[in-house]
């Protein structure tokens, strides 16, 4: 069981790791905070797809500026003036100042050590500089504890790893795990520490991909099976069914060219499109067979059969695309979730139309055969 208190949660994280002391390791776990941060952060943040690493280890180390309001009053400086002049060209946190019921925040630009801050000139009085160190105590100490990390009832150090937007989660996780294993068996083991993974987003991603992929293949099998049941012609079924792999493979290529990744949503779109890509091929093949049964030669039947239905097929495909394409222009959560789904279906349907109007008529000359009707004994 893992308990987290404070800022960290598993939502949105690429993965979580927890650092604990090995039996016999001296001192408190927080004594190793800086060493753990120096070991883990640079190596993990260098991995492609990782946005950042946050170490949760209780009270963080911070630069503290404790202003003496009486000394400041002797020099005629108010707390507001001190904060303004100390941060005149600076912009990172320098800590908090509590005076009575009020709390003041100082921010500084860049990286400062206490000695540099002590020498910072705030004001001139009678030709002499008034430095920050004259009115304040500056030191590095422990800040207020805002995070509590417990793993299996024992104190731990939380390591949250966030992913970059658009990153390949599975690839990033694979590399993160490999690097963490090296760190675990190397520098951390030498310090007497151990690290274990707790939250892993790849588990849920792989399950979702497996489910959608299985449904995709099941949809292909059912589509082909239903097609054969009604046609009862192996050649005609195979001819129409070739539009499925051609449409899906072409959709993969178009998604890659447009910078879209293959994810759970796009795989779901392919599963939805499996039955839709057969529509145009069924219409074209049936019309070609009809003309050949009427006595047309194969070549002329293929050309005329395709030409007679191409207008209707174009209109049907346009209406389908018109339904899904507007989703691409949505800016809210719905647009972000279903944009890949809509794009995948639209591409697959368009490709299936091209297959039905080009490849299918060309192949039908040698594959399709007109149905033969036999006279009944009573005729």
Residues of the chain within CATH 1.20.1640.10 domain(s) are 233-367
In this structure, what are the phi and psi dihedrals at residue 43, rounded to the nearest 5 degrees?
-75, -40
With beta carbons less than 8 A apart as the criterion, state whether 107 and 92 touch.
Answer: yes
pLDDT tens sequence across 82-121: 777 666 544 444 555 555 556 555 555 445 567 777 777 7
pLDDT(173) > 50: yes
Rounded Cα distance, 47 and 177, in Å: 11
pLDDT in tens, 237-267: 888 888 888 888 888 888 888 777 777 778 7
Cβ(309)–Cβ(360) below 8 Å: no
Of the candidates 352, 366, 362, 370, the residue with the CA atom closest to the CA atom of residue 282 = 352
Q: Describe the crossing of helices 278-293 and 201-231 by its angle, rounded to 10 degrees.
A: 10
In angstroms, the CA 150 to CA 141 distance is 23
The boundaries of every CATH 3.30.70.1320 domain in the chain are: 2-60+145-203
Q: What is the pLDDT of residue 130?
A: 78
Q: Are 123 and 22 in contact (CB under 8 A)?
A: no
Q: What CATH number was assigned to the domain covering residues 233-367?
A: 1.20.1640.10
pLDDT tens, position by position, 311-349: 999 998 899 888 888 888 877 776 767 888 888 888 889
Please tell me the distance from the alpha carbon of residue 322 to that of residue 246, in angstroms, as a whole number: 22
pTM: 0.55
The CATH superfamily assigned to 2-60+145-203 is Multidrug efflux transporter AcrB pore domain like (3.30.70.1320)
CATH 3.30.2090.10 in the chain is located at 61-142
| Pairing mode of beta strands 136-142, 102-107 | unpaired
């Amino acid at each position: 069981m893992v308990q987290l208190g404070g800022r960290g949660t598993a939502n949105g994280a690429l993965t979580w790791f927890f650092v604990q002391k090995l039996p016999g390791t001296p001192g408190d776990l927080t004594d190793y905070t800086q060493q753990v941060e120096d070991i883990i952060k640079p190596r993990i943040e260098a991995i492609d797809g990782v946005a950042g690493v946050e170490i949760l280890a209780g009270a963080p180390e911070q630069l503290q500026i404790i202003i003496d309001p009486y000394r400041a009053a002797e020099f005629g400086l108010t707390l507001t003036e001190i904060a303004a002049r100390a941060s005149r060209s600076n912009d990172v946190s320098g800590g908090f100042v509590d005076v009575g019921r009020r709390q003041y925040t100082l921010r500084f630009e860049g990286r400062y050590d206490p000695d540099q801050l002590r020498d910072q000139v705030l004001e001139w009085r009678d030709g002499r500089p008034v430095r920050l160190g004259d009115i304040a105590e500056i030191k590095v100490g422990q800040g207020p504890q805002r995070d509590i990390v417990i793993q299996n009832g024992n104190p731990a150090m939380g390591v949250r790893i966030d992913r970059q937007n658009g990153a390949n989660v599975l690839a990033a996780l694979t590399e993160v795990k490999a690097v963490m294993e090296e760190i675990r068996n190397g520098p951390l083991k030498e310090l007497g520490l151990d690290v274990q993974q707790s939250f892993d987003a790849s588990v849920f991603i792989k399950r979702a991909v497996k489910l959608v992929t299985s449904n995709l293949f099941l949809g292909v099998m059912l589509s082909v099976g239903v097609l054969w049941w009604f046609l009862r012609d192996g050649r005609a079924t195979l001819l129409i069914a070739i539009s499925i792999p051609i449409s899906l493979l072409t959709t993969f290529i178009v998604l890659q060219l447009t910078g879209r990744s293959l994810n759970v949503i796009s795989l779901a779109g392919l599963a939805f499109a499996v039955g839709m890509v057969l529509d145009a091929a069924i219409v074209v093949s049936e019309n070609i067979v009809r003309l050949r049964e009427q006595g047309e030669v194969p070549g002329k039947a293929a050309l005329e059969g395709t030409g007679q239905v191409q207008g209707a097929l174009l209109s049907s495909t346009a209406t389908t695309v018109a339904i899904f394409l507007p989703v691409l222009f949505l800016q809210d959560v719905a647009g972000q979730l279903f944009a890949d789904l809509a794009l995948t279906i639209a591409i697959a349907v368009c490709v299936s139309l091209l297959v039905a109007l080009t490849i299918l008529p060309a192949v039908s000359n040698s594959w399709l055969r007109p149905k033969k009707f036999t006279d009944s004994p009573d005729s």
